[in-house]
Amino acid sequence: EVQLEESGGGLVKPGGSLRLSCVGSGLIFKKAWLNWVRQAPGKGLEWIGRIKSSLDGGTVDYTASVKGRFSISRDDSRQTLYLEMNSLRVEDTAIYYCGSGYPDRWGQGTQVTVST
C-alpha cells in the first residue's frame, strides 16, 4: 500500500522560512513524479509544483505565485520529498499535501500557518 506522510508544518512569522518533508513507502519512490498541493482555509486545491523522477530528468516546475520563494527537491535514498519555503506570506497559510503520480496518492497533509 502506498503511503505518504508529510511533516514539518507549523506557525511561522511573515518573511520566515519552513521546510516540509514527505516520506513515501509502498511505491518505487525513485520512479515517482511527486507533487505539492496546498489548500488555504475554506478554499479549493492549488497545485504548487512537481518534481519529475531522476530517470525523467528530475525537472521541477512551479506555479507562479511561489516561484523564486519555494524550492522542491527529493532524496530518493531516503524516499523523501522536500518543500523549502522562504519569504513566507500570510497568504501561504494552508494545508500542504504531497502527492505521487497524477497525483493519485496523497498524504494526510501538514498545516502551515503564517502569522504575526
Residues at the site binding other proteins, with contacts judged by CB under 8 A: 35, 37, 44-47, 49-50, 61-64, 97, 102-109
Rg, Å, the chain Cα set = 13
**DSSP labels, 38-54:** EE-TT--EEEEEEE--G
Looking at the Cβ atoms of 77 and 102, the one nearer to other proteins is: 102
Min dist. Cβ of residue 24 to other proteins (A): 14
Min dist. Cβ of residue 81 to other proteins (A): 15
Q: How far apart are CA 25 and CA 23, in angstroms?
A: 7
Do 115 and 11 contact (CB within 8 A), yes or no?
A: yes
Looking at the Cβ atoms of 16 and 69, the one nearer to other proteins is: 69
Min dist. Cβ of residue 22 to other proteins (A): 12
Looking at the Cβ atoms of 46 and 84, the one nearer to other proteins is: 46
Nearest of 91, 93, 99, 95 to residue 110 by alpha carbon: 95
